[in-house]
Structure 1
């Protein structure tokens, strides 16, 4: 299983609004690309950073689908997120493999 992880550090004063937007807009949009079969939203409990840290994970069995997602879908989804929360977050992405 391939896990695409988006880690967000969100300004504390907007994190509830951000979480609602992620659940209502971003996660459905990512899943609607047909790339991923499932998703999870996690809150980091021991982040050393100011603000609130969340991880949004998406799962696929097919590495080629992930590559297509990065080429064709990530940029428009990132633009939508940036427009909604400009200068209120930091994000980094990681690609992982589930071993068991």
Structure 2
């Protein structure tokens, strides 16, 4: 299993709009690709000046599935996010391999 983690710091002045859009539109659009098994939307519990930070984690079965997402869907979905919140966020992505669950 692969966890595709997207960490976002969003400016306070657009936080509520971003949170609602992520909850109601963007994460659903990612899940509607049919390539991920589940998603988690979590607030990072740390003090941030000028913004709030979140981790959005998507679980998929393997690297091939993730690569398909990155090639066929990610560019458009990331562009939608960028256009809507340009200059109001910083994001980075991390890949994790699940070696064992308990």
- Classify the TM-score, shorter chain: over 0.9
Counterparts of 1:90 and 1:76, CA distance in 2:
18
Greater CA drift, 65-74 or 47-56: 47-56
> 1:70 deviation in Å?
0.8
Aligned to 1:70: 70
* Structure 2 unaligned regions, length at least 5: none
User: 1:32 and 2:36 equivalent?
Assistant: no
Calculate the aligned-residue CA RMSD, in Å.
Answer: 1.3
Aligned to 1:92: 92
Which TM-score applies when normalising by structure 2?
Answer: 0.91
SS in 2 for 1:34: coil
1:15-69 Cα distance to aligned partner (Å, 9 max, x none): 1110100011110110111110100001011255541000111001122110111
SS in 1 for 2:35: coil
Paired positions, count: 100
> 1:2 deviation in Å?
0.8
Aligned to 2:46: 46
Q: Measured at CA, do residues 53 and 78 of structure 1 come closer, stay the same or move farther in structure 2, by a change above 3 Å?
A: same
Counterparts of 1:25 and 1:47, CA distance in 2:
27
Structure 1 segments, 4+ long, off by >6 Å, are none
Which TM-score applies when normalising by structure 1?
Answer: 0.92
Q: Measured at CA, do residues 75 and 47 of structure 1 come closer, stay the same or move farther in structure 2, by a change above 3 Å?
A: farther
Counterparts of 1:49 and 1:93, CA distance in 2:
21
> 1:98 deviation in Å?
2.2
